[in-house]
Structures are given as C-alpha cells and as structure tokens.
Homo-oligomer: A and B are copies of this chain.
C-alpha cells in the first residue's frame, strides 16, 4: 500500500459495510486506535515544527545582532526578543481569528480560551484526517506570524525609535499579516485564483520584506552610510553570532517548510526537507559565486545571505519542485541577493542586514518560480499568472499598509532617534548597558 493520503483512513472505517458481529465492533476499535496513533504521530511532528520555527526567532536575533554595530547590540536584541512576544500575543488576541475566519469564527480567539475546561476548548482540528489539534494549529501559525515582523527590524536597525517599531509590529502582525494571509491560507480570493504559496515566500517573507522596504524609504539611511557617492562599511559586531543565526534559521526552516505539510505524512514532509536543504545549499553557492564576481573576495556575508536567500526562494514551492530544480532555484536566489543588495545601496536604501534582498527579492523570485518550474500533483504545470497576481496584490497591500503606518508614526511620535543617540549608539542611551563588556582587570 502506498501512503498517499492520510485523510482517507477514517472515511474507510465509517463507510465500509460492517458485518453485524462482535468482531466488527472490535475492528472499529482497532481503526480508532490506529487513528489515535496516527493523530499522535502527526501532532508530534507539528509540535516539533513549532519548536523549530520558534528557534528561528533566535536565528533572526543572531543574524541581526551579528551584522549590526556593537554600539547597538542590546537595542537590536531587545527588538528581536520583544517581536515574537508581541507577535504571539497579538496573534492570540486577534490575528488567528482574522486569518482563518472559517475555522475560527468570531473576532477574539483569546476570549474563546476562557472556558471552564480549557483543554477541550482547544478541541480537535481535523482529527478525522489524522491531523493535529487546534492548539497546535494556533501555535504553529502564531510562530509564523511573528517572523513577518522580525524581518523589518533588521532593515531599519540602528536608527529606528523603539516605541515606533513596537507600534508598527503590533499593527503589522496583528492586522496586515493575517488579513493578507487570509486571502490565501484562509481560503480567500487568492486561493480561488489558483495562487500557490506553500509555506510563505510571499505571504510571510515578501510581506515582511515590503514592510522593511517601506521602513527604509521613510526612515532614510544611517548617518555616514553614503558619503560622496561612496558606500561606507559599518562592520557588524560578531560574525560568529551571525553564523549561529543563519544555521539556526536553516534548522528552523525544516519546521517552517516541513510543518507546512500540516501533517507528518512521511513522503511529503521528507521530500520538502530535501528540497529545503538543497535550496539552501544552492543559495550558498550562488551567493559565493556572485560575491566573488562582484567584490573579488570570498565574501562570507554573501554566503550567509545566500543561504537565507535560497531558503526563502524554495519556500513557495518546496513541495512542487524536483530536487535538481531546488538547487537551481536556490542558486539563482543566491545570485539575486547579491545583485539586490548592490542595487539597494545604489538607491541609498540602507538595509543594515540585507533583509529586503533576502526576503522581498527572493520571496518574489520563489513565488514566480512556482509558475515556471512547479507541477501540480497530477503532473500538469502550474500556471504563471496567478503567481504574478499573488505577488502584485500582496505586495501592493503590504507595502501600502507599511508606508501608511510608518508615515503616520513619522509625523506623530517620530520614527528616528536623534543624531546624537544614533552616533553614540542606542544601547547606552535607551538601555543603559552595553552588549559586550570584555575587559580584563589585569
């Protein structure tokens, strides 16, 4: 028997003609027991995916703190720690209901949690199909939501006002992300259009990337970044920290993409893991080659961003590409991330960690690649146009919303710290401590 569809088991049990004797009763029990076991195994996989996506937040913290200057280390870690906190609570209060209006009717999921018997309130999500619980669903989706905001923090680092960033995060994760997400994953109009986005090259990464781009436009470059037409290098505090971050993001992507199968289906999940890994490898190669071509050195930053680029690129179609295509798509993403970074610098858009190049540029590339390389389950090629529409509609919405929020923040409470604070570092002024205190008394 080929394990094609774990949704068929319960149905077989309920529709087969059952001979009327004791054995039949026990057979029903046996099938129910099997379903329990499958349900448990699937849910374990999804909980592992939750843990893996959670650790991506440490990955983002590592990349962003590693690639920003030591005088702002505490500030960026502060933002990267509070972002999942805000993201999770916001998604609990409002985002989950907004994004899945059919599965979660009513506006306030949180209030739904007030029952006397809380466990049962989080009853079963797709139990008949051997799926996972509603609690698992909530937590997996909430971890996703929080990543969309984190993408922004790296781009606008080292000069954004914390209060403005936090307000932006609440609005972006609480409203913008789930509303756009509902158009596809909540079975809205983009889903009807035939738009395909397996694990969120568009819905998560380019939505976050558009938010980052809007931030860059409104806030402007760091002081002294572009001087007399030259790009001034501002070295990050710790390459090891950035490396830890990239490895943890790669690890976390096993849950991000592997969990997006939404069950532990062995073939589907392991296939997605293979593509995800090969996409990352391709991205590293692409970043290495283009970094060498452009900068004439073994540019490690471009290898690291190439890996992330490959991962973002593979995300929209990790289930519909062949492994060889995964390497190709990842490699192209690795080439693109370098070109995109150079282009942004030419436009004086000062993206501190390369977030726009990784998440927006490669998010768009990965989404379109589905319409170029991807095949549906029946072997037919997936159409290109719905992919383009998805990119354009989600992009226009996310960008417009982010521009609006940042603009309103700018003209009200302001979004940029004072020049003095920016030059002396945010850590000593806003947090009263330094990121590193490596001094020996003797």
Contacts and interface: CB of A to CB of B under 8 A. Distances in A.
A322 interface: yes
Closest 6 CB pairs of A and B: A33-B34, A37-B37, A135-B270, A43-B266, A58-B247, A37-B38
Contacts of A322: 113-115, 118, 121
Interface stretch (A170-178, A235-243, A391-399): A235-243
Given A3-B124, A36-B38, A55-B247, 11 more contacts: A1-B32, A33-B38, A47-B258, A54-B251, A57-B247, A62-B244, A70-B437, A88-B277, A119-B271, A135-B267, A297-B430
A389 interface: no
Chain multiplicity (copies): 3
A306 to B, nearest CB: 9
A375 interface: yes
A300 B431 contact: yes
A138 B267 CA distance: 12
Interface stretch (A13-21, A364-372, A408-416): A13-21
A36 B74 contact: no
Given A29-B16, A273-B50, A88 B278 contact: yes
A74 B300 contact: yes
Task: Count chain B CB atoms within 10 A of each CB in A117, A118, A432 and give the residue with the most.
Answer: A118
A347 interface: no
Contacts of A41: 37, 40-41, 44, 264
Nearest to A265: B40
Nearest to A138: B274
A6 B298 contact: no
Task: Count chain B CB atoms within 10 A of each CB in A127, A240, A244, A304 and give the residue with the most.
Answer: A240
Interface string A106-134: 00001101111111111110010010110
A43 B300 contact: no
B430 A139 contact: no
Interface stretch (A76-84, A179-187, A199-207, A354-362): A76-84
A438 B238 contact: yes
Contacts of A29: 9, 12-13, 16, 31
Given A26-B24, A270-B122, A271-B119, A435 B71 contact: no
Interface of chain A: mostly helix, strand, loop or mixed: helix
Interface residues of A, number: 155
Given A29-B16, A110-B323, A300 B433 contact: yes
A32 B1 CA distance: 8
A48 interface: yes
A74 B271 CA distance: 33
A318 B139 CA distance: 15
A177 to B, nearest CB: 17
17 contacts: A2-B123, A17-B22, A18-B23, A23-B27, A31-B33, A37-B37, A62-B240, A73-B239, A80-B243, A116-B375, A117-B379, A139-B270, A235-B434, A237-B436, A237-B437, A299-B432, A436-B438
B266 A431 contact: no
Given A1-B32, A33-B9, A240-B241, A85 B51 contact: no
A132 B271 CA distance: 12
Given A133-B266, A270-B136, A441 B24 contact: no
A288 interface: yes
A303 B85 CA distance: 10
Task: Count chain B CB atoms within 10 A of each CB in A117, A235, A438 and give the residue with the most.
Answer: A438
B35 A38 contact: no
Interface string A292-336: 000101111101100100000000000101111001000000000
Given A77-B300, A300-B74, A303-B81, A61 B281 contact: no
B267 A123 contact: yes
Interface in A379-394: 379
Contacts of A430: 297-298
A431 B23 CA distance: 70
Contact of A92 (B33, B82, B271, B323): B323
A239 B33 contact: no
Contacts of A210: none
B19 A23 contact: yes
